[in-house]
């Protein structure tokens, strides 16, 4: 199915950009550009800074030098990104549906409905369950459903396939591909193979261990 473009023309551009933790440079002098409809996969061994790079692009960690910007974005449109980290940010005492309703309220109910999002990620039958009872893979699916209830053009995904089964991997591929078809941008750190239907829309940035 071809989706319609819903986002304006955007480019995430990083120039001579370095990031790190605790005063230690992890990724140095990076320059890259990701335009709408395209995906950047971050690869590299454990501890090379993939999560740190995502946290920096999310505005949670300050860059060490250089700069990056989402060109074409209108500040009046509000936040432009979703950050989906290692932790699923789930409220255990709320139901699965209430978790998504909460996020739709906080981030804006601009996407599909929480019920539709749960169906999409395969959790439709569990919507009334306390989210604390979800399995690891089900929790990951709930975290991914958050991407769908609020439209934001830039998705920053840290190990989106973590804990997911084979069908879950296919789900991540579908979600990313659908987002790209709508003109969105995706930057994803992964140790898994994420094979998108349009390889020409995928760039890879491999981080290396500093000696
Ligand atoms: N707050 C911190 N202070 C100091 N060092 C930190 C801090 N947070 C992370 N680090 C270190 O930064 C390095 C990079 O961590 P990061 O999580 O970005 O790597 P990664 O490439 O995502 O790894 P993985 O593949 O294991 O997920 C690691 O050596 C880690 O110990």
pLDDT in tens, 164-188: 999 999 999 999 999 999 999 999 9
Beta strand ranges found along 44-178 (DSSP E): 65-71, 81-84, 154-158
Distance (angstroms) between ligand 1 centre and the Cα of 47 equals 5
* CATH 3.40.50.300 for the 1-77+190-211 domain, yes or no: yes
Domain coordinates in residue numbering, the chain: 1-77+190-211
Distance (angstroms) between ligand 1 centre and the Cα of 99 equals 28
CA nearest ligand 1 atom 6, residue: 21
Q: Is the minimum distance from the CB of 23 to ligand 1 under 6 angstroms? A: no
Q: pTM value? A: 0.96
Residue 99: which of 56, 145, 54, 58 has the closest Cα?
145
pLDDT digits (tens, 9 = 90+) for 103-160: 999 999 999 999 999 999 999 999 999 999 999 999 999 999 999 999 999 999 999 9
Strand order of the β-sheet with 39-43 is 81-84, 154-158, 185-189, 39-43, 202-206
Complex prediction ipTM? 0.97
């Amino acid at each position: 199915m071809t989706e319609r473009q819903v986002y304006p023309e955007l480019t995430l551009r990083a120039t001579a950009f370095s990031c790190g933790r605790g005063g230690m440079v992890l990724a140095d002098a990076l320059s890259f550009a990701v335009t709408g409809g395209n995906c950047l996969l971050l690869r590299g061994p454990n501890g090379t800074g993939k999560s740190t790079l995502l946290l920096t692009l999310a505005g949670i960690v300050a860059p060490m030098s250089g700069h990056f910007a989402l060109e074409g974005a209108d500040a009046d449109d509000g936040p432009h990104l979703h950050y989906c980290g290692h932790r699923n940010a789930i409220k255990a005492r709320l139901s699965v549906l209430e978790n998504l309703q909460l996020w739709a309220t906080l981030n804006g109910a601009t996407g599909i409905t929480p019920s539709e999002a749960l169906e999409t990620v395969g959790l439709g039958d569990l919507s009334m369950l306390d989210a604390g009872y979800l399995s690891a893979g089900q929790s990951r699916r709930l975290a991914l459903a958050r991407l769908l209830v609020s439209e934001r053009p830039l998705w920053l995904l840290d190990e989106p396939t973590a804990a997911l089964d084979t069908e879950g991997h296919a789900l991540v591929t579908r979600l990313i591909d659908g987002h790209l078809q709508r003109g969105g941008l995706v930057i994803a750190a992964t140790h898994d193979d994420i094979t998108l239907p349009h390889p020409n829309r995928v760039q890879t940035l491999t981080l290396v261990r500093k000696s």
